[in-house]
Amino acid sequence: MFEQSGKTPETAVSPSQLNNMARRSIENKLGRIWLNGEVSDVYKAASGHLYFSLKDQQSSVKCTFFRQFNFQKINLKNGDNLLTFGQATLYEERGTFQLKVERVEKSGIGDMAKAFAELKLKLESLGYFSPEHKQKLPAVIHSLAIVTSKTSAAITDVLNVIKRRNPLIEIQIYHASVQGDNAIEEIINALLTADINHHDAILLTRGGGSQEDLWTFNDISIAQTLFNLSTPCVSAIGHERDVSISDLVADVSAITPSAAAELLSSDLAQSKQKLSHNLQLLYNSMLNLLNSCAQKVDSSHLKLEKSHPKSAIENQKNHVQHQQAKLQHFIKLSLKNAQTQLSTLKSKHNHFDFKLKEKFERINYLQHNLENLITITHENKQIQVQNLAQNLNTLSPLATLSRGYSITLLQNSHELMTHSSQLKEGDTIKTQFATSSVFSKIVAPKSS
């Protein structure tokens, strides 16, 4: 029956019929088989079923592991090398070839995971991932180069995000296949061409896919090209769970192409608002600076006016005028006071009879008597002084000495010696005569 279906237009089959025919054929011809490969794209559904792929360098096979086979003790992760046994079949609804797994056995790390780990270790030892080798993205990007396939879904997402956020960015797309035999060479050529065209940044991107689909971006030649670019480069390969060597080597990595577009395109509205704010700050700063300079100019002008000779002369002139006014006021006030006092004296003079002539005569008489009294008193005092001087001269020791007497004094203490008992051997005495004196030394005092 199957052999005749679809062979003629009259016997054409529907997609569901074809998938059913293919499933039966696969199950009948292949049956249950052992399959060995590297695990990728592990996914555990809410139903409890486990989905993953087994791959090698060229191909991959979808696998389904239903929960009734009790796989809870098996901890699958990407990169494991797995030996499986199950039914080869076709998922009719999607037309997808798959293996319904019934038994699994781990057999170590897969070849692709091993190759990825070895390359990562090698590039890390060469400093390809070091932060000091990473270039910073410009704060504002005006020209952006995008290296990807023109037919990819990633380029549509990127362009939509940039158009929404900042349509002023100039974009140039450098087409390169993102998987396949020519992908590596095309990606390298596109990166090098973009680098020499002096863009602000380069975006290397592609959408999600299996690990096999993304394996191109784990190539060492692409890694070396990214490391040697002079233009800052952002890598956004696959989705958040995907990590490639290109992501590790690039200056910046993004979890998705859309996230990379967000990173590279500053929000135009925010930039406009920020620019307006900065312009206002600049205006305020300039206004404050101008006001400060104006105040300094006014202050300097005021100092210059104060120190100008003309100002000094004007100040002196004002001071003289002020003092002159004060003096005139003082003179007027003094004259007024003098006139008041004079009026007062005139008024008093009109009320009293001074009899000036009689008073002058009386004063002259008293003055004459006072002069006579002073003369007589002076003469009497002179006579008294002469008498006292004569008596003093008579009693003076000098007068006694002039009659032949002398006075004896002890040299050191000037004590008056009146008896020889006051002296002792070795004393020096001074004998004072009327007009001279002699010094003597006691050899042996003689008692009387």
**Which CATH number is 101's domain given?**
2.40.50.140
Same domain, 51 and 175: no
Of the residues 269, 300, 321, which one is the last residue of a structural domain? Answer: 269
DSSP lists the bridge partners of residue 431 as 408, 438
Split at pLDDT 50, 70, 90, the class of 446 is low
Percent of the chain predicted with pLDDT > 70: 89
Q: Which has more pLDDT, 225 or 339?
A: 225
Q: Total structural domains in the chain?
A: 3
3-state secondary structure (DSSP) of residue 308: coil
CA dist 178 and 173 (Å) reads 14
Same domain, 86 and 123: no
Which one, of 113, 104, 141, lies nearest residue 38 by Cα? Answer: 113
Judge whether 189 lies within some domain.
yes
Judge whether 351 lies within some domain.
no
Percent of the chain predicted with pLDDT > 90: 26
Same domain, 252 and 122: yes
Average pLDDT of 347-372?
Answer: 75
Same domain, 164 and 211: yes
CA dist 75 and 44 (Å) reads 11
CA dist 392 and 397 (Å) reads 10
430 pLDDT above the threshold of 80: yes
Q: Where are the alpha helices (DSSP H) in 251-308?
A: 257-264, 268-307
Split at pLDDT 50, 70, 90, the class of 447 is low
Same domain, 100 and 177: no
Split at pLDDT 50, 70, 90, the class of 392 is confident
DSSP string for residues in 136-194: PPPSS-SEEEEEE-TTSHHHHHHHHHHHHH-TTSEEEEEE--SSSTTHHHHHHHHHHHH
Judge whether 57 lies within some domain.
yes
Judge whether 356 lies within some domain.
no
Note the pLDDT of residue 246.
93
Note the pLDDT of residue 137.
92
Same domain, 125 and 252: yes
Same domain, 63 and 120: no
Rounded (10°) angle between helices 111-125 and 220-227: 30
Note the pLDDT of residue 355.
65
Mean pLDDT of the chain: 83
Instruction: Show the domain range for 44.
Output: 9-109
Same domain, 60 and 147: no
Which one, of 445, 415, 438, 440, lies nearest residue 428 by Cα? Answer: 440
270 pLDDT above the threshold of 70: no
Of the residues 200, 234, 269, which one is the last residue of a structural domain? Answer: 269
Judge whether 104 lies within some domain.
yes
Same domain, 148 and 76: no
Split at pLDDT 50, 70, 90, the class of 229 is very high
190 pLDDT above the threshold of 90: yes
158 pLDDT above the threshold of 90: yes
The 10s digit of each residue's pLDDT in 299-358 is 777 777 666 676 767 777 788 788 888 888 888 888 888 888 878 877 776 665 556 677
Compute and round to an integer the Cα radius of gyration of the chain: 67
The 10s digit of each residue's pLDDT in 238-255 is 887 778 899 999 999 999
Are 87 and 28 spatial neighbours (Cβ–Cβ below 8 Å)?
no
Strands 407-410 and 233-237: unpaired
Of the residues 269, 287, 313, which one is the last residue of a structural domain? Answer: 269
Q: Which has more pLDDT, 49 or 217?
A: 217
Same domain, 98 and 120: no
Same domain, 87 and 67: yes
CA dist 346 and 87 (Å) reads 155
**Which CATH number is 167's domain given?**
3.40.50.2300
Judge whether 221 lies within some domain.
yes
Judge whether 42 lies within some domain.
yes
Same domain, 144 and 265: yes
Judge whether 2 lies within some domain.
no
